[in-house]
Amino acid sequence: MSAAMLDPVLAHIDAHIDQTTEHLFSLLRIPSISTDPAYGQDCDKAADWLVEDLKSIGFDASKRATPGHPMVIAHAGSEGPHVLFYGHYDVQPVDPLDLWDRSPFEPTLEQGDLGPVIRARGASDDKGQLMTFIEACRAWKAVHGTLPGKISLFFEGEEESGSPSLVPFMRENAKELTADVAMICDTGLFGDDTPGIVSRLRGLLGEELTITGPSKDLHSGMYGGPAMNPARVLAKIIAALHDDQGRITVPGFYDGVPELPPEIAAQWEGLNFDQEGFLGQVDLSDLAGEQGRSALEMIWSRPTCEVNGIWSGYTGAGFKTVLPSQAHAKISFRLVGQQDPHVIRENFRAMVRALLPADCSAAFKSHGASAGSEMSIDNPAFDAARAALSDEWPNPAAFVGCGGSIPIAGHFKSILGMDAMLIGFARDNDAIHSPNEKYDLRSFHKGIRSWARILHRLYG
């Protein structure tokens, strides 16, 4: 791995960053909003743009039809580890349009807190991020005359609308899509100077609960007292889901929850996570949750149970003396390690039923059940990526967790049997899904350089 292979690539990237940015603008100008049928042709156009662009740097690229928006698949090379890179070319809707300072599909460079930012819908999520990888390939090709190794690309156009075609497409094309490792560029930096490689994702179990007491809404003056109030029953159930140490009381809940390996604990310790700032930015000062755990540990490695919604009775203006017939809650569990979502679902439902008083019944609706996943970071690509990122950024990269759930990573594991590495350069203030989305030019530029370094570590 000689610096002679890498340095001219980095120099090329630096020398061409203006052209590269202008090139990204032409993709950003295509309003590829996947949820709105009015933009169907634009999604198609974005897919075509990518196919042409990939062909121009030597990929065997093609658009593949699905019942929804098309996939873009590209392959090149035969040497070294086989890497599959994933991104999505569709973007979020733009309304409310009047909150945008300028048109969402007329990208511009503006001044941001860390230098220039690229302002447009999709700049960060995910066009700007996916182009960091393509631009690294382009620079490599320009300098060395060939792409670095066995690389496939896989772009979808339905990520912002629930990816209905994704799983069937992956199943049908499993052989073509399976590689040694997947790389996904759709996440953020851990800190402005600290890249992270997401190597553990929490699973998500969603339950909707309806408690029914009396068969219709009653007058609380008439039936208040004699009749059981399902809103009170629901409150009792929710209150019973945690003990006074913040632990979840569903029977067997912690079966399969591992303690953090000491080396990962040490890495996280080293990140000097600003717990006070993290809470302070939403005006909290106290760490809730399981006692004796740090915030990072809670978010990345501990399971949770949260109430995402409750409703019952009269919720409008003024007052109505109703004794409601039903009370509802949406409750979700984030899962880690070997926790089995199906077992937890059954145990949760049994616990709720056991807490019901006479005359109340419970009905349940499932809203997804996915287990947590942890990548096998002994795949050498993980260490290569970590070293490469540590070379590019002021602070070393860490294997971090992700509190949320990223379905694509789970699909790569469960359908194609491969681990996924999530590396991204977005910042928390990128306003993805919101008006005035942006991507820092620094993220874009150092992102391209990061991928060049990773390619060099893998193939150089």
Q: Per-residue x/- marks for a copy of itself, 171-210, CB under 8 A? A: -------------------------------x-x-x-x--
Q: Under the criterion CB under 8 A, does residue 75 sit at the interface with a copy of itself?
A: no
Minimum distance from residue 228 beta carbon to a copy of itself (Å): 4
Question: Residues near 130 by Cβ (< 8 Å), separated by ≥ 6?
Answer: 85, 87, 88, 89, 155, 185
Structure tokens at 227: 């009749």
Residue whose structure tokens are 């349940």: 364
Q: Under the criterion CB under 8 A, does residue 357 sit at the interface with a copy of itself?
A: yes
Pick between residue 103 and residue 294 the one whose CB is nearest to a copy of itself.
294
Sign, CA torsion 399/275/404/392:
negative
Pick between residue 270 and residue 309 the one whose CB is nearest to a copy of itself.
309
d(CA 84, CA 77): 12
Structure tokens at 46: 């974005």
Sign, CA torsion 432/200/184/34:
negative
Residue whose structure tokens are 């004796």: 292
Stretch that binds a copy of itself, among 70-78, 254-262, 304-312, 341-349 (CB under 8 A): 304-312
Pick between residue 18 and residue 359 the one whose CB is nearest to a copy of itself.
359
d(CA 138, CA 143): 9
Q: Under the criterion CB under 8 A, does residue 213 sit at the interface with a copy of itself?
A: yes
Minimum distance from residue 57 beta carbon to a copy of itself (Å): 36
User: Read out DSSP for 347-400?
Assistant: HHHHHHHHHPPTT-EEEEEEEEEE--EE--TTSHHHHHHHHHHHHHSSS--EEE
Sign, CA torsion 226/227/230/231:
negative
Q: Per-residue x/- marks for a copy of itself, 236-255, CB under 8 A? A: xxxxxxx-------------
Q: Under the criterion CB under 8 A, does residue 113 sit at the interface with a copy of itself?
A: no
Q: Which residue type occupies 178? A: T
Stretch that binds a copy of itself, among 106-114, 291-299, 389-397, 444-452 (CB under 8 A): 291-299
Q: Under the criterion CB under 8 A, does residue 354 sit at the interface with a copy of itself?
A: no
Query: Residue from 332, 373, 443, 450 that binds a copy of itself (CB under 8 A)?
Result: 332
- Count of chain residues binding a copy of itself (CB under 8 A): 80
Pick between residue 237 and residue 344 the one whose CB is nearest to a copy of itself.
237
Q: Under the criterion CB under 8 A, does residue 232 sit at the interface with a copy of itself?
A: yes
Query: Residue from 67, 96, 145, 226 that binds a copy of itself (CB under 8 A)?
Result: 226
Minimum distance from residue 202 beta carbon to a copy of itself (Å): 7
Query: Residue from 220, 379, 395, 436 that binds a copy of itself (CB under 8 A)?
Result: 220
Q: Which residue type occupies 37? A: P
Q: Under the criterion CB under 8 A, does residue 433 sit at the interface with a copy of itself?
A: no
Query: Residue from 55, 102, 171, 219 that binds a copy of itself (CB under 8 A)?
Result: 219
Closest to 389 measured CA to CA, from 107, 168, 116, 198: 198
Pair 312, 230: CB distance under 8 Å: yes
Pick between residue 360 and residue 416 the one whose CB is nearest to a copy of itself.
360
Three-state DSSP class for 9?
Answer: helix
What is each CA distance from 137 to 21, 50, 134, 295, 448, in whole angstroms? 15, 13, 5, 38, 9
Backbone angles phi, psi at 276, to 5 degrees: -65, -45
Q: Which residue type occupies 254? A: Y
Pick between residue 107 and residue 188 the one whose CB is nearest to a copy of itself.
188
Bridging pattern class, strands 181-184 and 83-88 = parallel
Stretch that binds a copy of itself, among 75-83, 320-328, 376-384, 445-453 (CB under 8 A): 320-328
Pick between residue 72 and residue 241 the one whose CB is nearest to a copy of itself.
241
Q: Under the criterion CB under 8 A, does residue 345 sit at the interface with a copy of itself?
A: no
Q: Under the criterion CB under 8 A, does residue 228 sit at the interface with a copy of itself?
A: yes
- Write the burial class of residue 394 (CB in 10 Å: 0-12 exposed, 13-18 middle, 19+ buried): exposed
Q: Under the criterion CB under 8 A, does residue 292 sit at the interface with a copy of itself?
A: no
Binding to a copy of itself (CB under 8 A) within 385-424 occurs at: 402-405
